[in-house]
Amino acid sequence: MQKNKWILQDIDKDYLYALQQELNLPEVVLKVLLARGIKTSREIKDFVFPKKEELFNPYLLGDMYKAVTRIKQSIENKEKILIYADRDVDGITSLAVLYNTIFTLGGDVVWYIPSDEGYGLSCTVLDKYKTENVKLIITVDCGISAVTEIDYANSLGMEVIVTDHHEPPQDGLPKAYCVVDPKVTACKYPFKELAGCGVSFKVSQALMQTYGKYFDKEIAVLAGKNEQFYLIVLVNDIVVKEEILNKPDLTNFSKIVTNSKNCIENAENKDIEIIEIEEEKDIKQIAYDILNKYRNKCFDDDGRMLEFFENNVDLVALGTVADIVPLTSENRILVQNGLSILNDNYSKRLGLGHIFEEYLKNGQVSAKSISWKIAPILNAAGRMGKASVAANLILADDNYNANNFFVELKKLNNDRKELQNENIKQFNILLKQQCDVEKDNILVVSASNLAHGVTGIVASQMVKLYGKPVILFIEDQQKGEATGACRSIDGFDIVAALDKTKDLLVKFGGHNQAAGLTIEINKLEEFRKRIKQIAKDHISTEMVANKVNVDCELKITEVNRRTYKDLTVLEPFGASNSVPVFLLKSVSFEEISIIGQTQEHLKLKICKDGISIPAVFWGAAKYIDDFGYKQKYDILFNMDLNRDAVQLIILDVKIV
């Protein structure tokens, strides 16, 4: 019955004890963090207690200054601006954040999301907006691969700012006015895994800062000690110079931040702020302590930027979770703060309020509820070629329109479910005809006469089932083209693989684990042959073997509500911060029964040492005859709550 290879990390008990004494965190929390490579006390504090003040400066993103000064110029000159978005939840939240920001600043801004044109920019759409006198196009969550389309926009006299988070093409960036994408090789931004909405948020934040008092002004951070001074010069919160001075000349600075009045005797008529700091450290460290305190104080005291943060971070949380990017570093800060705001008052978003009330029944908004319930509903609009419905729902500022868009979205979601069921059925039939499931390292399936919209979902389900990368195509005989969706496995970069076949492709783009592509039908067989060889060369037997990383072993006495509550400090759970997986040894099963509308699942009790705990084992009804009441088992499981009682979600079982 054991389907996977179990990987359990060894934990140094002495080091664990020392961390407990220092940090006063529950043992189970520390065990999970250590198993996941978060080991130093500093790393643990930063992970468990992320602070919004620790978000990185948006101007560290390559081309950010160029982007926001151009947008500001368009706003001030009343030029018409087009925001061009992708059609998934990440795309529409990216759109909403940037649209609201530009509109609030007085910009003449419109937006567009493709329906049946496919992913990314379309030359036909560019023609349309040229006639409407659009001068500047800003892409959100797309554009990094639109080399041909951006060349065409340039030929029309339109400038394009690309804001994206996808992998750039290996043979060069598009000739846009500028490109803001943390994954661009030359970009030195400290965190590369922002979602599209995270990049849009950063652009909006930097744009707001261009209207601040000290934008483009030099600020001096000055530490004085024993008649010596350490000077740090900032422009837009980026360090541009630092040096040790005996008598600093402060006459050229717009603001001076220091720890001593003695430092500023020659700085008359300047904006001066004194920050108290311990002076036991060396002078450089004192200067950086002043700088850190100043940055934190600016975040707390700047009501305009704090309002911007609170008005947008909920949308960023929604898009970040939906796009399945790693919930670490900045993403963790953004999602944690965004979820808090949604739970305080999600009804401020009139359209989202309808969704939450209908599908969460006033329950907690969590990363899990977004992934399982909210994102699929919002994505349904894009999958059915009407992403504008979801965008209008999020942007709605009156309840009448919000309700109308919600009713339309519910219908689209029901249509999406029917389409998904049909496509799963057809692709599974074709997979058995077109692929050798045992020998092929990548599964490539092509279908005709199927509607678009859910190909990515079906590909994801097949990856989970077969443990191999999957590419699914739907052919359009009239156009002579096939549009595909790719989903991959850990260790196999699907975009890099597609790049090796780009001479066959009309276009492609995406992440290393998920991508889209278009190809001429007459080149499909050659593509299939070459991509299978690439997969054969780069995917090892070890990569396709299903593995489960186990966070730690628990005793049955530790499986309780207190442990469950302790683990909530690790939320939000998602990509790169999955729900903890635990091992429980030598248990027995009792009261086994089949449940579910399709009779595919098991409900049972886990028993050991006189303790019994309810559990469910999804998709395991086929194993019911293999479970003996007197047999002992090791199990892997997640912990969950069911009506305030702990319940186990069994992931795998091994007979002892």
What is the reported pTM?
0.88
**What long-range pairs does 606-609 form, CB within 8 A, spacing at least 24?**
606/556, 606/635, 606/648, 608/556, 608/584, 609/556, 609/557
Tokens describing residue 76: 């001030």
CATH number given to 5-45+548-655: 2.40.50.460
Using CB atoms within 10 A of its CB, is residue 585 exposed (0-12), middle (13-18) or buried (19+)? Answer: middle
Considering 6-15, 63-72, 270-279, 500-509, the range whose residues carry the highest mean pLDDT is 63-72
What's the CA gap between 561 and 187, in Å, rounded?
45
Instruction: Looking at the structure, give the CATH architecture of the domain made up of residues 58-209.
Output: Alpha-Beta Complex (3.90)
- What is the average per-residue pLDDT within 531-552? 86
What's the CA gap between 641 and 648, in Å, rounded?
8
Tokens describing residue 301: 């005291």
Mind listing the pLDDT tens digit for each residue in 129-162?
Answer: 999 999 999 999 999 999 999 999 999 999 999 9
What's the CA gap between 478 and 488, in Å, rounded?
29
Contact criterion met (CB below 8 Å) for 387 and 92: yes
What burial letters (b/e) apply to 619-642, b meaning 16+ CB within 10 Å?
ebbeeeeebeeeeebbbbbebeee
Q: What is the pLDDT of residue 281?
A: 80
* Residue 118 pLDDT grade (very low, low, confident, very high; cuts 50, 70, 90): low
- Between 456 and 197, the more confident residue is 197
Nearest in space to 241 (alpha carbons), one of 257, 262, 264, 219: 219
- Between 596 and 109, the more confident residue is 109
Question: Identity (one letter) of the amino acid at 287?
Answer: A
CA atoms 56, 61, 65, 68: torsion sign = negative
Q: Give me the residues paired with residue 571 across strands.
A: none
Kindly give the pairing relationship between strand 443-448 and strand 470-476. Answer: parallel
Cα 543 from chain centroid? 24
Q: What is the pLDDT of residue 1?
A: 62
Mind listing the pLDDT tens digit for each residue in 494-530?
Answer: 999 999 999 999 988 888 888 889 999 999 999 999 9
CATH number given to 218-301: 3.30.420
Contact criterion met (CB below 8 Å) for 35 and 16: no
What's the CA gap between 409 and 117, in Å, rounded?
20
Tokens describing residue 135: 């001068």
| 162, 179, 266, 409 from 186: Cα distances, Å | 15, 11, 41, 41
- Between 363 and 11, the more confident residue is 11
Using CB atoms within 10 A of its CB, is residue 608 exposed (0-12), middle (13-18) or buried (19+)? Answer: middle
Cα-Cα-Cα-Cα torsion 580, 581, 587, 588, nearest 10 degrees, comes to 100
Mind listing the pLDDT tens digit for each residue in 255-300?
Answer: 999 887 766 665 565 788 888 887 778 889 999 999 999 988 888 7
Mind listing the pLDDT tens digit for each residue in 566-609?
Answer: 999 999 999 899 999 999 999 999 999 999 888 889 999 999 99
| 74, 122, 127, 129, 132 from 153: Cα distances, Å | 17, 10, 8, 10, 14
Q: What is the pLDDT of residue 626?
A: 85
Tokens describing residue 600: 């595919």
What's the CA gap between 335 and 330, in Å, rounded?
9
Percent pLDDT > 90 in the chain is: 71
Contact criterion met (CB below 8 Å) for 437 and 431: yes
Tokens describing residue 82: 């087009």
Mind listing the pLDDT tens digit for each residue in 162-206?
Answer: 999 998 988 889 999 999 999 999 999 999 999 999 999 999 999
- Between 644 and 416, the more confident residue is 416
CATH number given to 435-544: 3.10.310.30
Q: What is the pLDDT of residue 128?
A: 94
Q: What is the pLDDT of residue 262?
A: 65
- What is the average per-residue pLDDT within 3-18? 90
Q: Is 467 helix (H, G, I), strand (E, B) or coil?
A: coil
Percent pLDDT > 70 in the chain is: 97
What's the CA gap between 350 and 655, in Å, rounded?
52
Q: What is the pLDDT of residue 265?
A: 61
Domain locations in the chain as residue ranges: 5-45+548-655, 58-209, 218-301, 326-415, 435-544
Question: Identity (one letter) of the amino acid at 311?
Answer: N
Mind listing the pLDDT tens digit for each residue in 371-411?
Answer: 999 999 999 998 888 999 999 999 999 999 999 999 999 99
Contact criterion met (CB below 8 Å) for 370 and 321: yes
Q: Is 480 helix (H, G, I), strand (E, B) or coil?
A: coil
Q: What is the pLDDT of residue 638?
A: 97
What's the CA gap between 583 and 430, in Å, rounded?
38
What's the CA gap between 556 and 402, in Å, rounded?
48
What's the CA gap between 108 and 125, in Å, rounded?
18
* Residue 545 pLDDT grade (very low, low, confident, very high; cuts 50, 70, 90): low
Largest CA distance in the chain: 87
* Residue 362 pLDDT grade (very low, low, confident, very high; cuts 50, 70, 90): low
Matching residue, tokens 């899990």: 368
- Between 15 and 281, the more confident residue is 15
